[in-house]
Amino acid sequence: MTVKHLGIHIFKLAAVACFAVSLACAGTSPVKAQAAPIPAGFAEPVTTELAPGLYTFGNFGRRSIFVVTGDGVIATDPVSADFAAAMRAAISKITPAPVKYVIYSHQHWDHVSGGQIFKDEGATFISHEKCLAHFDRHPNPAIVRPDRTVAGGETIELGGRALKLMYFGPNHGDCMLVMQLDGTDVLYVNDLVTPYSLGLGMMPDYDPAEWLHTLRELEARPDWQRIVGGHGVPFGKRDAVTQRRHFIEQLMAAVKTEFDNGLNVEQMTAKIVLPEFKDVRGYDQQIGRAIERAYRFYEMGW
Ligand SMILES: [Zn+2]
């Protein structure tokens, strides 16, 4: 693991890698793969400094952020015991200070498992208040239950820095916190946007209409230029949010048209193609489940 001072060269590398992978995917058999291959150079976790005191840690599979201050560290999603141990080691290379806070972005287990290593050193765990119902209704021993909850709009202050925790309502799940460190142009949006990739498309607990509202609210904010998602390349620019919004808008419009034409979900999955996104990473793997989620929105009203 090395600290890379982020420059435009990394952004270009990521774009080239994603493009190369999308071409490779386009030439594969029609049998849907479980996941698109990881681009070269993104398999091992890497620490990337995005702004003074603000780092992202992860590989192409999972990604979190952490904030280093003179009085301690604010970490975010621990992901798994192994990932958390690797992130802890990466933090130790930068500062001897303890991790004082762990902030969960949302409730999904693939991002919030494995935080015990931070609990053991005394960190306070924080999530949005709506996450608690998920953790209590379906407990997972790998997840440290939050010590505190927020409703959105709060800031976590440490060592003269302030991490703003924003809540935009239900979108990807119902307890997503978007984070921004004061004095930086970076938003941590986790699964709301996987830059230049379709990520997991749409899962059953995604709310497509509210997700669009959130993306539009993010686009309307002038106070950021870069986003960190929970997967993929170290960061995206504003066009990554717009691309995600366009995908959902075009998906919903296409599904509504075929729904009104009387097609069932299998028929519209076979028929619908979104040309603007065919070469975006993950399209072949995710378009089917995205269509099914949108179909349920028009069929069931949620
Ligand atoms: Zn998620």
Residue-wise pLDDT for 58-101, tens only, equals 998 899 999 999 999 999 999 999 999 999 999 999 999 999 99
pLDDT tens by residue, 121-162: 999 999 999 999 999 999 999 999 999 999 999 999 999 999
- The CA 191 to ligand 1 mean position distance, Å, reads 5
What is the reported pLDDT for 38?
Answer: 74
201 — alpha (psi -120 to 50), left (phi > 0) or beta? Answer: left
In this prediction, residues 237-255 reach a mean pLDDT of 97
Percent of the chain having pLDDT more than 90?
80
Nearest alpha-carbon partner for 126 in 164, 182, 85: 164
Domain that includes residue 132, residue range:
3-300
CA of 172 to the centre of ligand 1 (A): 6
> Binning pLDDT at 50, 70 and 90, where does residue 44 land?
confident
C-alpha 122 – ligand 1 centre gap (Å): 26
String of b and e for 10-34 (b: at least 16 CB within 10 Å)? bbebbeebbeebbeebeeeeeeeee
- Distance from C-alpha of 115 to C-alpha of 77, rounded to nearest angstrom: 8
Write down the number of H helices and E strands in the chain.
9, 14
CB of 238 closer than 8 Å to CB of 225: yes
Place of tokens 């015991």: 81
In a 13 Å sphere around the CA of 254, the CA atoms on its Cβ side amount to: 23
Distance 43 CA to ligand 1 centre (A): 20
End-to-end CA distance of the chain: 43
Distance 260 CA to ligand 1 centre (A): 30
Ligand 1 center to 175 CA (angstroms)? 10
Phi first, then psi: give them for residue 20, nearest 5 degrees.
-60, -40
CATH number at residue 22: 3.60.15.10
Q: Compute, in angstroms, the gap from residue 70 CA to the centroid of ligand 1.
A: 31
Residues 258, 215 contacting (CB under 8 angstroms): no
Query: Quick one: pLDDT at residue 6?
Result: 41
Q: How many domains does the chain have?
A: 1
- Looking at residue 71, its pLDDT comes to 97
Mind listing the pLDDT tens digit for each residue in 103-114? 999 999 999 999
User: Could you tell me which residue, 5 or 222, shows the higher pLDDT?
Assistant: 222
Q: Residues 211-217: what's their mean pLDDT?
A: 97
pLDDT of residue 35: 60
